[in-house]
Structure 1
């Protein structure tokens, strides 16, 4: 089990806990030896007395279930904290060929910049469900939802062009929103590289993991980490 603390900030009675990185050796070994090189990232608020963020790195097992790799506790979600996490994760997983790896997230705060700094050559996907939540604020309705998902699910550039044309004919303003969204390679199947062997479009891996640790997030930090560790050992 790899546990890394950052030094406490402050002096004397004013010392303040900053960050902690945790990775179980068996989970790391399982990812490196047997699992596809796709990793989902997420961050959630701690709900107990001691505030902060629990970041997570989750991958998919051979049955497309969730397989956690690492989970740090940080003071807030920003570029500095994500970069700190990614540097440790990159060392743990011995990431050398960055082009081999794919990451997906809900457009977490600061993650784009951190990936560009630490792992600039990896593929990065955006969760389409998260994109749709932003889309429907200005363009609600089932017909538009179906057309947006048709675009994201297009497996060839020809199908992508056809789906985009259908959206433009139906609602030009919604079409312009999609045109101005992040580049196609981040969230359309037609532009995904094939080496990952996964066409996943949503960040459900992290959502599933977070749903199983709701009770733990209400606890003090050490208690929370122990509850997560015990739960994962039972699951394994």
Structure 2
């Protein structure tokens, strides 16, 4: 469970967001949406207990009842799996070894247990066939899958994904979100995503940034023309998906 209470964040010359209050229950699959620069990545970082340099933070974040800022990094890693938006690896590890770095806080695991966990995470994302490859020799999309597998190998109760579908083709984006939703159905999952129509197809709940704060709720509460127009500063029309009966958004030119 994630509980955010009166959370505000700002730099000396900029307010990122103010007075965020929301709760994410276990077994929830929530999309984090909003314009570029709205604060999505900053929020995810704070939920993982990481305060960016120069950021002033007030308020409280409880992770399974614990103050995330009071936990050691090794303790956070056992509660949360966090996929950052960008990553430039330094070491040319094998895919197997790269995924296993997600287990750095689990020193009590045997070699057999580590190997089993890595293989299971790789199978979940269908990348077991190139476990022996070096990460410098795979594509950007394949590396993204490896990064996701490194998160899943932790078997954490909370998963925070910053743009998990980045660098993936359109078909695999849908497959990925469906796979995560199916395999992590008992966990708290929060993922940021730019494609709001994809979010509408897979998420059960939504956090939408608008005017330095957030609105939370179900699709019927979030996907309104008035609210989305305000959040993205553009005219929108909302239609129903012909097959899944989910809302789909059409962004319109401002002169319409």
Q: Please say whether Structure 1 and Structure 2 have the same fold, judged by a TM-score greater than 0.5.
A: no
Q: Which has the higher contact order (CA 8 A, sep 6+)?
A: 2
Q: TM-score range by the shorter chain?
A: 0.3 to 0.5
Q: Which has the higher helix share?
A: 1
Q: Which has the higher strand share?
A: 2
Q: TM-score, normalised by structure 1?
A: 0.33
